[in-house]
Structure 1
Amino acid sequence: MAPVIAAGGSSAFDKIGYWSPNTASVDWCENNYVVSFYVAEFWNTFSNIACFIAAALGVLLFPGNERRFKFLFTTFVFVGLGSVFFHGTLRHKMQLLDELPMLYSATIIMFILVEAKYGPQGKWFPALLTAWIATTTFIFSTTGGQLQFYTFQSTYTFLQFAMIYLLRVLHVQQRAIHGPNADVSILIRRAFATAFFAVTIWLIDLRLCEFVNGVGARSILKWNPQLHAWWHVFSAAALYHATMLIEYYHYDVQGRRPYVGWWKGLVPVIRLANQHPKGMLAH
């Protein structure tokens, strides 16, 4: 088995379970098979409900019919399912079901943002992205251990920074045309805050596990706060808010006068001028 990146100081307290031994390239800070003999990381598995909620809200509150957004929301579902399989088993093949949909969703986001900024690119652009997806799928399916882990993380991080850059460019461009928008500013602040917090606790869970696992001699806590599970919650929130920004700019450059509505006074939703809000979900 390829070397596994294990959150330090925690693996000694793991138990043997139904899916043992672990073959994934990373083992997180949650102790394995503590809650259930059949679920390797119970809380990391359960917390993926946040991803399903984000996907459901995206589908139900989406104001348009474009296939690109339908595909995007579908990948959110597969990200959640893949993460359930991965954290529930800590098997390498299940890890791929977690990571590959993340790359697919990020690639679809790049497609939407590039065309929002530069206009339709023709058939060559989706063909290029399809080739990119095929290449990354092959690479991540045929590697393991630290090589697979760091290759995936660097690729996904690159896509995230590219998304942030394009969102920033679109924001400056459209603000110069329409002026400041308070609701859009709220979306930006929420997306940034939840993403920053999510990445912070993800890094703590991975790199400082021995100090926060609640069981090791060096732990400063008496209980494990399950930071990777909270990463799922806050990253899903960040993804949802970022997607609302993407929707907003997608329609704004088309001149369809989008605006930010608030479902139940809390959840942001993009609506279009002169369009009746969808069904029972309207606020």
Structure 2
Amino acid sequence: MAGMFAYESSEVDWCEDNYKHSENVVEYFNTMSSFVFFVVSPVMLYLFHPYARERNLAVHLVWLMMIFVGLFSMYFHMTLSYVGQMLDEISILWALAIGYALWFPRRHFPFFVKDRRTFSRMVLAITVVTTLSSFIRPTANAYALNCFALHILYSLGLEMRSCTDQRALRLAQASVGLWVLAISCWISDRFGCSVWQKLNFCYLHGIWHILIVVATAYGSTLVAYLDASCEIPHSLPSLQYWPRDDWALGLPYVALRGATKTRKGC
């Protein structure tokens, strides 16, 4: 049992040189870059609160779970332990599951699912089974998690086909662009390590951390906006950016210009 907590007990090792900057931290930059989760997540919790209060306070669980993702990511890269790897990957899985349960469009539910409560229970059951299955072949977990991202992109593409809101379309483009950059860094670090080592630039996985958090902020805001437009249209949702709406860069959020609990199913 103690061996599972031991340094470098995981079969996964990223491209960054181990113990280069500290004898107590295996991958220093990968560990430090995980701090971005603790910067972005609290801000998104704050920005999402008006929407969550009107729609469902469980929305806050997405960004609360992202804080845990950051915590476990730091622990994993600091130790490269088996337990750290599993905590990191399982927390990502549960963050995805919460997002699916809250935001997956009702019109795309399986034919045998009639309401969101039933769908959420189905997602919970699948997530429990997947969590247990993740211990069978841990080296495959990261690839399986990225497959969920492909399904999210496909589902988002279906939703955006009928969208005419220019802000939403630009946000979709930015979200996909950030994800493409992020996954390119992840793949390059995983499979092109020898090239980056020759260039003495082994920090792509840390850059992935930064890009994927921002991509998650953009993507979750987009799906929350689509959800609000469908489920609580009388609250008059709109897309805005923090800290200033007229800045080219910022964190997006759903602003509600009206306030009502009237529901309209989609």
Q: Within the alignment, does 1:165 sit opposite 2:154 as a pair? A: yes
The 3 A distance-change label for structure 1 pair 33 and 138 is: same
Q: Percent identity?
A: 23
The correspondence of residues 222-241 of structure 1 with structure 2, limited to 5 A, is 223-241=200-218
Alpha-carbon offset, residue 86 of structure 1: 0.3
In the alignment, which residue of structure 2 is the partner of 1:135? Answer: 129
Conserved 8 A contact 1:24-1:90 = yes
Conserved 8 A contact 1:107-1:159 = no
Partner Cα distance (2:202, 2:43) in 1: 27
Q: Within the alignment, does 1:28 sit opposite 2:14 as a pair? A: yes
- Of Structure 1 and Structure 2, the greater helix share is in 2
Q: Within the alignment, does 1:51 sit opposite 2:37 as a pair? A: yes
Partner Cα distance (2:74, 2:127) in 1: 22
Cα root mean square deviation, aligned: 2.0
* Structure 1 unaligned blocks of 5 or more: 1-17, 214-218, 276-283
Question: Which residue identity is paired with 1:138?
Answer: L
In the alignment, which residue of structure 2 is the partner of 1:269? Answer: 253
Q: Deviations over 1:162-182 (max 9, x none)?
A: 222222222224x2xxxx222
Partner Cα distance (1:27, 1:168) in 2: 34
Conserved 8 A contact 1:19-1:38 = no
Partner Cα distance (1:227, 1:102) in 2: 19
Of 233-242 and 249-258, deviating more is 249-258
Residue 200 of structure 1 aligns to a residue whose secondary structure is: helix
Q: Deviations over 1:218-254 (max 9, x none)?
A: x1x1x22411100101111111100110110110002
Q: Within the alignment, does 1:98 sit opposite 2:82 as a pair? A: no
Of 234-243 and 131-140, deviating more is 131-140
Question: Which residue identity is paired with 1:93?
Answer: V
Partner Cα distance (1:115, 1:89) in 2: 39
Question: Which residue identity is paired with 1:23?
Answer: S
Partner Cα distance (1:61, 1:52) in 2: 15
In the alignment, which residue of structure 2 is the partner of 1:114? Answer: 104
Partner Cα distance (1:271, 1:94) in 2: 37
Conserved 8 A contact 1:116-1:249 = no
Alpha-carbon offset, residue 122 of structure 1: 4.7
Aligned length: 240
Alpha-carbon offset, residue 35 of structure 1: 0.6
Alpha-carbon offset, residue 257 of structure 1: 2.2
Partner Cα distance (2:237, 2:166) in 1: 13
Alpha-carbon offset, residue 190 of structure 1: 1.3
Q: 2:181 aligns with which of 197, 212, 230?
A: 197
Alpha-carbon offset, residue 116 of structure 1: 4.9
Moved runs in structure 1, 4+ residues, more than 6 A? none
Conserved 8 A contact 1:109-1:163 = no
* Structure 2 unaligned blocks of 5 or more: 260-266
Alpha-carbon offset, residue 114 of structure 1: 2.4
